[in-house]
Amino acid sequence: MTDHPTPPDTTTFPEHFLWGAATASYQIEGAVREDGRGPTIWDTFSHTPGRVRGGDTGDVAADHYHRVEQDVALMRDLNLDAYRFSIAWSRVIPDGDGAIEPRGLAFYRHLVTTLRAAGIEPVITLYHWDLPQALQDRGGWANRATADAFVRYAAVVHDALGSHVDTWMTLNEPWCAAFLGHASGEHAPGLTDPRASLRAAHHLLLAHGDATAAMRRAAGPEHRFGIVPNLYGVQPGSDRPEDHAAAHLIDGLQNRMWLDTTLKGQYPTDVRAIFARFSALDAIEDGDEARIAQPLDLLGINYYQQHHVAAGDGQGLGSPFPGGDEVAFLPSAQPRTAMGWGVEPDGLRDLLVRLHEEYGSPPIMVCENGACFDDVVDDHGRIHDPDRRDFIAAHVDAVERAIEAGVDVRGYFVWSLLDNFEWAHGYERRFGIVHVDYETQRRTVKSSGAWYRDHIAATKAAAAGATVSVVDA
């Protein structure tokens, strides 16, 4: 990667394109025992020895719970149009489906009104993996009743915040919640049970559909509803038919399973076959697929990398995919981030075009994209992170190329606003465009953040200029 700032290209983005940054409740809030918040599966998991690197937990995280004003001011300084964050279910309903905790709702009401006062649009994610522990104790997502509890929770939050918030995303990356949580066990609740992972996947999808329908019944015309799967290009390692079959299998579980259900109202046949293989088909009841496929105003997508796969030898234990032991995952031939993820911006462009052409997708928001690199704080306290800046610039460019190819993309959110608790990797992995010193909680804008701030300003100036010249003409 070069050390020369990529000049912002400013011509294509529509005037109302949302430039934002994203976070999630458990990763930044801390304050896990305050104001009536109930324990979640991530509290339990992170406090279980051996689950998270270095024994890190989200107990304090970036202490955002106590720093709303400061963090919103930071967003304003970064020229953000929008901020995507998630609600902690257990702050609002501590045991998941019982009494409502007004102090939890008050916290989020304060956050959204502070954002609005700063001219920043709040984008809510209702579920970013922190399931109330009390629901897990009754089977969690593998239990169909959890979907009903989610519908009630969504309606409670929508009712409380709907007058301040237009954009509502039900689930973040249900693939991770289902398969990392229940098949590989890398995430909470840490199960290694393929059948449970497929049941969880289905109940997450059902929760999405039913909650969307419930919120829509009470919504104003300005409200927009969507879901945020994590999608990947899946490339076969060679032209061998076995490698193509492996790519098709992984594409089914990673992409089509979430897209065909939510956008077309049916599971792909090959994904159904995986349900059958692990005795999970009985989770899919008559009528469920129609309930999942609610009309959507937005499709959110998270994109980080592509998968490269080959036919495996059946030894690939630990693959997060149920049935994925038949597949070998190959390293990307491109430069890689500190996560080992290949830097493949063309994959984002191709994915956006695929969603447009193959699915006739609703308008798309890129809800997460970003990179982990090992940051160095210099003697002056500055963080110069050209690799992250180049990563973001290249992916913004990929979005622009997709728009030029006719894809309706409405926004781009960097992951992440702040360094934060990176799940099983703890605090060691940093994705922020703003550095967090976890000893002092001091925030410092990295050079990638400064680039993003300037890029947003330049893009807006160009869009406004274009509008003026159209009016002049």
Active site members: 173, 368
Minimum gap (Å) between residue 313 Cβ and ligand FCB: 28
Binding mask of the shown chain, residues 124 to 163, with x at each position contacting ligand FCB by CB under 6 A: ----------------------------------------
- Strands ordered across the beta sheet of 307-311: 234-236, 307-311, 327-330
Minimum gap (Å) between residue 342 Cβ and ligand FCB: 15
Rounded distance between C-alpha atoms, residue 89 and residue 132, angstroms: 7
**Near ligand FCB in 10-49, by CB under 6 A:** 24, 27
Stretch of 92-100, 106-114, 170-178, 452-460 contacting ligand FCB, by CB under 6 A: 170-178
**Near ligand FCB in 97-116, by CB under 6 A:** none
Cis-peptide, bond into residue 416, ω within 30° of zero: yes
Minimum gap (Å) between residue 38 Cβ and ligand FCB: 21
419 binds ligand FCB (CB under 6 A): no
Minimum gap (Å) between residue 366 Cβ and ligand FCB: 12
Structural contact between residues 330 and 235, judged by C-beta atoms closer than 8 angstroms: no
56 binds ligand FCB (CB under 6 A): no
230 binds ligand FCB (CB under 6 A): yes
Classify 322 in phi/psi space as left (phi over 0), alpha (psi -120 to 50) or beta.
beta
289 binds ligand FCB (CB under 6 A): no
62 binds ligand FCB (CB under 6 A): no
Minimum gap (Å) between residue 96 Cβ and ligand FCB: 21
368 binds ligand FCB (CB under 6 A): yes
Q: Which is nearer to ligand FCB, 8 or 320 (CB)?
A: 320
| CA dihedral of 336, 340, 345, 349, whole degrees rounded to 10 | 160
**Number of residues in contact with ligand FCB under rule CB under 6 A:** 12
Contact with ligand FCB (CB under 6 A) among 423, 427, 451, 452: 423
Minimum gap (Å) between residue 24 Cβ and ligand FCB: 5
Minimum gap (Å) between residue 105 Cβ and ligand FCB: 23
375 binds ligand FCB (CB under 6 A): no
422 binds ligand FCB (CB under 6 A): yes
Minimum gap (Å) between residue 365 Cβ and ligand FCB: 14
Name the token pair of 286.
């008559």
Q: Which is nearer to ligand FCB, 425 or 460 (CB)?
A: 425
**Near ligand FCB in 298-357, by CB under 6 A:** 302
Stretch of 2-10, 108-116, 160-168, 169-177 contacting ligand FCB, by CB under 6 A: 169-177
Q: Which is nearer to ligand FCB, 424 or 463 (CB)?
A: 424
Q: Which is nearer to ligand FCB, 246 or 301 (CB)?
A: 301
Q: Which is nearer to ligand FCB, 10 or 172 (CB)?
A: 172
Binding mask of the shown chain, residues 175 to 204, with x at each position contacting ligand FCB by CB under 6 A: -x----------------------------
Stretch of 10-18, 29-37, 248-256, 415-423 contacting ligand FCB, by CB under 6 A: 415-423
Q: Which is nearer to ligand FCB, 21 or 176 (CB)?
A: 176
Q: Which is nearer to ligand FCB, 87 or 176 (CB)?
A: 176
Phi and psi at 445, nearest 5°, equal: -65, 125
Structural contact between residues 283 and 209, judged by C-beta atoms closer than 8 angstroms: no
Please state the length of the chain. Answer: 473
Name the token pair of 465.
């200029």
HEC secondary structure over the chain: CCCCCCCCCCCCCCCCCEEEEECCHHHHCCCCCCCCCCCEHHHHHHCCCCCCHHHCCCCCCCCHHHCHHHHHHHHHHCCCCEEEEECCHHHHCCCCCCCCCHHHHHHHHHHHHHHHHCCCEEEEEEECCCCEHHHHCCCHHHCCHHHHHHHHHHHHHHHHHCCCCCEEEEEECHHHHHHHHHCCCCCCCCCCCHHHHHHHHHHHHHHHHHHHHHHHHCCCCCCEEEEECECCCEEECCCCHHHHHHHHHHHHHHHHHHHHHHHHCCCCHHHHHHHHHCCCHHHCCCCHHHHHCCCCCEEEEECCCCEEEEECCCCCCCCCCCCHHHEEEECCCCCECCCCCECCHHHHHHHHHHHHHHHCCCCEEEEEECCCCCCCECCCCCECCHHHHHHHHHHHHHHHHHHHCCCCEEEEEEECCECCCCHHHHHHCCCCCEEEECCCCEEEECHHHHHHHHHHHHHHHHHHHHHHHHHHC
Minimum gap (Å) between residue 369 Cβ and ligand FCB: 9
431 binds ligand FCB (CB under 6 A): yes
Name the token pair of 383.
């963080």
Contact with ligand FCB (CB under 6 A) among 97, 101, 121, 173: 173
Q: Which is nearer to ligand FCB, 172 or 361 (CB)?
A: 172
Q: Which is nearer to ligand FCB, 13 or 423 (CB)?
A: 423
The binding site for ligand FCB (CB under 6 A) comprises: 24, 27, 172-173, 176, 230, 302, 368, 415, 422-423, 431
